[in-house]
Amino acid sequence: MFKTLKYLLLANLYKRAKKNFLILFGSIIFLILISLIMSDAISVASGFTLYILIIVKWVIVLFLIGSIGLSLIKIVNAATSSFVSEDKKRTVVDVKKDRILNKERLFTKSDSILQKYMKD
């Protein structure tokens, strides 16, 4: 029973935070690739180019660490939020739809026109 409940909770979390999970895993893979590629480029470079490559590497690394942190925060927020769907909010369209559907008989446009001229 607990395994099923755990699976359902994880499936629901993945459904609600799918985009954030993809961003998280993509950022981690990109971080590893950038570290490897830039380390090779830095070992070959010399002079002023070396300093530029180091600065570029750390700017990219800090950006990726920030995006990983932001993704983790969004995943935690999705995990701790309630399971009630936010789509339940009633809009003006829903109110009009309910009012039309509650009528005893629904008229088409031609029925309305015929009824208008039949009264006269």
Indicate whether 116 belongs to any domain: no
Indicate whether 53 belongs to any domain: yes
Indicate whether 119 belongs to any domain: no
Contacts of 100 (CB under 8 A, 6+ apart): 106
Q: What is the pLDDT of residues 61-86, one digit of tens each?
A: 999 999 999 988 988 888 777 655 55
Indicate whether 40 belongs to any domain: yes
Indicate whether 23 belongs to any domain: yes
Q: What is the pLDDT of residues 4-27, one digit of tens each?
A: 766 667 777 778 788 888 888 999
Indicate whether 94 belongs to any domain: no
Indicate whether 19 belongs to any domain: yes
Q: Containing domain of residue 73, as a range?
A: 2-84
Q: How many domains does the chain have?
A: 1
What span, in angstroms and rounded, lies between the C-alpha atoms of 107 and 111?
6
Indicate whether 59 belongs to any domain: yes
pLDDT for position 91: 65
